[in-house]
Amino acid sequence: MLPRWLRRSRAREIREEIETHVAMATRDYEARGLTPEEARAAANREFGNVLLVRQATADVWSWIRLEQWLQDARFGARIIRHAPGLSAAAILLIALVIGGNATVYSMVNSILVSPAAGVNRDDLVVIRHVDPGVSITDPFVSFPNFEDYARHSTTVRDFVAWHGQRMTLGAPTGNFAVFGSLVTTNYFDALGVEIGRGRGFLARDDDAREGVVVVVSHRVWQEQFNLAEDVIGRTITINRIAATIVGVAPAGFAGALLTPGEDLWMPVRSYFRLTRQDELTNRTLPLVAMAGRLSPSASLAEARSEFATLSSQLRSTYPNAFTTYSPRGVVPLSNPRAVVSRYSATALLPIADMAPVFLAVFSVVTLLTLVVVCANVANLLLGRTVERQRDTAVRHSLGASRTRIVRMLLAEGATLAITAWFAAYIVAWWTSALLLRVIEPRPGLLAGARPDWTLAAYGMTLALLATLAFSLAPALRSWRVQVHPLLKAGEQSIARGRSRLSTALVVVQFALSVLLVTSAGLAYRSMTTLSSADLGFTPDDLLLVTVRLGRGNGAGEEPVADNEQRAALLERIRDRLSTTPGVEAVSYTRRIPGATLLASTRIRRDDQTVTTGFVRQVGPGYLAALGLKAIAGRELTAADRRGATRVAMINQRLAAELFGSEPPLAHSVLIGEKNERVEIVGVIPDALFDGPNHDPHPRYLFVAEQQVPEGPPIDLSFIVRHRGTLDAITPIVTRAIGEVDAALPIAGMSTMNARLALVTELEAQIVQLLACFAALSLIIAAFGHYAVAMFDMRRRTREFGVRMALGASAQRIQHAVVREALVQSLPGLVIGFVLSAGVAVSFKGLLFGVTPVDPMTYAGVFLLLMLTSVVASYLPAWRASRVNVIEALRQE
């Protein structure tokens, strides 16, 4: 743009030039004998419109486009002052949609691309193998495979491997079950993890001649050593192996992957040398995850093709080189393919495969929502356009070009969009804070998931697209405007007939809102029923103590080695606890409420009578610990030990299912794939042993833990019914367990009530999220309704004027308008209800105590949506009824 002084002087020069022209002409006319006044008039007449010429000449010099754009921008900005309600509505809508979506997008994206805390390299890649025949493969390769890759690859250097596992940390303060990794000695260097204190690993740490060394997490240093300065050099035990602490990892570092969060790192070679040497040479055992640094001269594509070659070479040499874990144990991959991808904390987790799909679906949904919102805003602006038809026509006739008018409308749209963009940014901040609170992810998981500049750019793109979309509709309408009839007729001849598209949109929006609100309502009803369900036992005063026994199959670490020993240990602890003061009853179980997966097992009486149920392994006195009694027969006792007849107790529901009215005692049933025969010794009440369940009448069969052939599992929980406060009983129980086996790690403590709350927590979160979506959708639908109603009212101003002139009262007009709105929302409601019922029926399994067509919910939704519709249409109706009769009629 020209500086102001230059423009001024240019304008002055043009004025002078024109004055000279007129003066010369005047002089000539005077010379021809006209009087000075006549000459002046003639000269002026001849010259024409001085102002116009001046402007046209100045325009040659001005950067006319830019100036006009600025003028447009100023014009556009006026919309906020002139139509504050409309602007606020439009801005709010766009901000909510863009802001909300951008938040979710950035969160998922940040989960996908962020490195783990403490990892500082940007050239890291991970290598895993996928098989089209296997849906989810573990990212592990055998150690010999890893070594071969490391030896032969030219595109990737600094190969690291790690093997994560559960470990028992023996520290001065006790035994703790933690996760740790056995790593190659270059682990910290290659990942760029800066060791905060002490050192990382050296190549010589591999041979363990000077003893095993360990690097501990900052958390362990803090919690177990109270940040002691002299922690380096101290000895701890890991899985009962003594190890010397040589370093402390930086705060926040918890392994290269997001889960499970590691606390200990040891050199893999020295550890296995001391424990299970053969695993490092076993080519068919998937053992380690693998990463490396892309060499500076290689591209990712080159690395990919190299690894494709390397893996096929490996396979031709060792046909069974690639394996994965499956429910059936380690199985070979039939068609493995090496995948090299950029490292992130989630690159090796299943989410890496699922999230892009989620993002794609999410983007489509976002765009659709945006389209709906844009349509709403377009409707709002369209209403305004109609109101301004006359204004536009006047401008048009005064010489404003069509493009200029369209530009002005676009400028208005841009003003709204840019404001909305800022608002969206605020919304994004707010929703991310809210979501972080609602979802409560693992600490550190979403720490970086805050709106950033890439997100802002993303939002801006959406906002600009939105602008184009919602300004162009009214703009194009005004393009077609015939000036003449408008100037004559005023507001009625434009926008004849209701836009079918916008009406259809309102119906769709309403249907979607109904669906969302109904879903939220059903989920809420389900959740409240669920959390108030009668458990069948009293969950108060029950302490749950989980101990880690280790695994019997040799793959993990075993605090207690032998199956028999572990079973015996359980009984010893139970005996000890039952004589502990303050303990009323005690037993143990493999499962406590709050587990996410409940797998049922086949239970067979004979070939005809087969059903499924939950099979639970429990200790003696389980019912008593829960405060229950067998209805018939007896409960499991200490006498049901290995070698005796395998026995079971079943709940009434299962008894009815398998035996009808027959007494089930002394009958046998076969359970699971292995058809293990157990004899029924007791029938017990129908309690919800796993907490509220979506099946309100679950079938249960309890067998004695002591009789399970493969021995106790890794984790097992004691159920302690106690007197007195939790604070008082906890140390007593811990001490009692320690007295039986000082080395036994306690993996967790909880109360029955806390675990039961976990069961409904997921439902509660789903309800919260659904409620958020439903509210958003309701707002959008309400605005949509409002926009269409407003547009309609504008169009019908004269009609109302006539009606009122003929004696209709304002109230009557309002009633008529609201009634019309209600009728209009009916199709949306009906479609929505049909959709909801369909969706709810297909998700019946997730509902508890509520039918998919729960009348209460549907009635509530009906009222809510009707109310929305009334509110959304009342305001325009009220405005319409306040029309000035004379005004309205004069438009004719």
Chain contacts with another protein (rule: CB under 8 A): 13-14, 16-18, 20-21, 23-25, 27, 47-49, 52-53, 56-57, 59-61, 397, 399, 401, 483-484, 487
Supply 647's token pair: 């026995």
Supply 481's token pair: 């405007």
Q: How far apart are CA 296 and CA 308, in angstroms?
A: 20
Nearer to another protein, 484 or 697 (CB): 484
In the complex, the smallest distance separating the C-beta of residue 57 from another protein, rounded to whole angstroms, is 4
Nearer to another protein, 53 or 355 (CB): 53
Q: Read out DSSP for 75-122?
A: HHHHHHHH-HHHHHHHHHHHHHHHHHHHHHHHHHHHHHHPPPTT---S
Q: Which residue type occupies 535? A: L
In the complex, the smallest distance separating the C-beta of residue 484 from another protein, rounded to whole angstroms, is 6
In the complex, the smallest distance separating the C-beta of residue 67 from another protein, rounded to whole angstroms, is 16
Q: Which residue type occupies 342? A: R
Angle formed by the axes of helices 84-113 and 402-439, to 10°?
50
Reduce the DSSP state of residue 178 to 3 states and report it.
strand
CB atoms within 10 A of CB 169: 23
In the complex, the smallest distance separating the C-beta of residue 41 from another protein, rounded to whole angstroms, is 16
Residue in the structure block whose two tokens are 């046998």:
668
Task: Encode 654-685: b = buried (16+ Cβ within 10 Å), e = exposed.
Answer: bbbbbbeeeebbebbbebeeeebebebbbbbe
Reduce the DSSP state of residue 338 to 3 states and report it.
strand
- Adjacent-strand bridge partners of 618: 589, 704
Task: Encode 311-343: b = buried (16+ Cβ within 10 Å), e = exposed.
Answer: beebbeeeeebbbbeeeeebbebeebbbbbeeb
Cis status, amide bond into 260, omega within 30 of 0: yes
| DSSP tag of 249 | P
Q: How far apart are CA 681 and CA 678, in angstroms?
A: 9
Q: How many CA atoms lie within 13 A of 3 on its CB side?
A: 3
CA nearest neighbour of 57 among 16, 94, 96, 11: 11
Nearer to another protein, 14 or 714 (CB): 14
Q: Is the separation of the CB atoms in 336 and 142 below 8 Å?
A: no
- Adjacent-strand bridge partners of 193: none
Q: Read out DSSP for 788-836?
A: HHHHHHHHTHHHHHHHHHTT--HHHHHHHHHHHHHHHHHHHHHHHHHHH
Nearer to another protein, 281 or 401 (CB): 401
In the complex, the smallest distance separating the C-beta of residue 47 from another protein, rounded to whole angstroms, is 5
Nearer to another protein, 23 or 742 (CB): 23
In the complex, the smallest distance separating the C-beta of residue 391 from another protein, rounded to whole angstroms, is 15
In the complex, the smallest distance separating the C-beta of residue 4 from another protein, rounded to whole angstroms, is 19
Nearer to another protein, 50 or 839 (CB): 50
Nearer to another protein, 64 or 504 (CB): 64
Q: How far apart are CA 57 and CA 67, in angstroms?
A: 15
Nearer to another protein, 30 or 387 (CB): 30
Q: How far apart are CA 184 and CA 348, in angstroms?
A: 18
Nearer to another protein, 57 or 284 (CB): 57
Q: Is the separation of the CB atoms in 196 and 249 below 8 Å?
A: yes
Q: How far apart are CA 308 and CA 331, in angstroms?
A: 21
Nearer to another protein, 64 or 476 (CB): 64
Nearer to another protein, 48 or 807 (CB): 48
In the complex, the smallest distance separating the C-beta of residue 28 from another protein, rounded to whole angstroms, is 8
In the complex, the smallest distance separating the C-beta of residue 48 from another protein, rounded to whole angstroms, is 6
In the complex, the smallest distance separating the C-beta of residue 9 from another protein, rounded to whole angstroms, is 13
In the complex, the smallest distance separating the C-beta of residue 59 from another protein, rounded to whole angstroms, is 7
Nearer to another protein, 41 or 436 (CB): 41
| DSSP tag of 196 | S
In the complex, the smallest distance separating the C-beta of residue 405 from another protein, rounded to whole angstroms, is 14
Q: How far apart are CA 105 and CA 458, in angstroms?
A: 10
Nearer to another protein, 56 or 433 (CB): 56
In the complex, the smallest distance separating the C-beta of residue 376 from another protein, rounded to whole angstroms, is 34
In the complex, the smallest distance separating the C-beta of residue 53 from another protein, rounded to whole angstroms, is 5
In the complex, the smallest distance separating the C-beta of residue 79 from another protein, rounded to whole angstroms, is 27
Nearer to another protein, 24 or 203 (CB): 24
Phi, psi of 345 (to 5 degrees): -65, -15
Q: Read out DSSP for 421-448?
A: HHHHHHHHHHHHHHHHHHH-PSTTTTTT
Nearer to another protein, 484 or 882 (CB): 484
Q: How far apart are CA 653 and CA 697, in angstroms?
A: 7
Nearer to another protein, 61 or 325 (CB): 61
In the complex, the smallest distance separating the C-beta of residue 401 from another protein, rounded to whole angstroms, is 8
Phi, psi of 246 (to 5 degrees): -110, -15
